[in-house]
Structure 1
């Protein structure tokens, strides 16, 4: 969960950079004009961010910080198709809540949206807690898993390796 929150902080920068590039390219002068295009651009750029890192070493910047790695169920690196599938399925954290608030007509109520989002996130956490391997639903459906991978300690030059009797 800490990596999830840290990822959100990093993605804020990605989204701001995307908006800074998108707005002049599309001549967007008002935030509400062309907002759906900007949202689609952010969706694609965020997807590229995750897919790139997951396919190149299995770790986003936040996952590296928390020593987490994404692999398939056999422990192998994630294929691009599996990374795309995981990215799309990860929206299960948010889409049910957003769809519910839209269908109920609560799109202008920040309190309702935040309550629905929090409830949905808690439901995702509960599902993972109940899973025998503590996996999130999107990982189960995508055939991926998050593993803990601590870095190998670096040896000081001239130091005797641990367990070396000499």
Structure 2
């Protein structure tokens, strides 16, 4: 769903985002990127579980990866009561994440020696792949969780960081 299809209220947001035990610790660089991605999501987001029985937020989200599936455990911020659990296959993201990492590597290499025009071209490609991943995430969440495009972008960044090995 896009923000054009749904109106978000002030409580339609995440106030906390954590990782389940299945997502282990990593290198300091990866841990830093994860922390930045979480901060970005929590800084500004529109997030609401979909369904007739969903109670008003704000919400907490715990992400886990089990059997190559992304598990989203959503609870209420006020009392940690369970709202919903959704499981998404990571398969549809594999190619996009791989392409995104390849373009990011090219971008970081280009910064060292390429012209401004070349860097801008690579950055446009990077943003395009990131947008594709964000749209895929929105499609996979459709009917489960309503988010706007900017929130989907921030969550897709987090999906990428979960795949990054450093």
Q: Is the TM-score greater than 0.5?
A: no
Whose radius of gyration is greater, 1 or 2? 1
- Structure holding more helix per residue: 1
Between 1 and 2, higher relative CO (CA 8 Å, sep ≥ 6) is seen in 2
TM-score, scaled relative to structure 1: 0.30
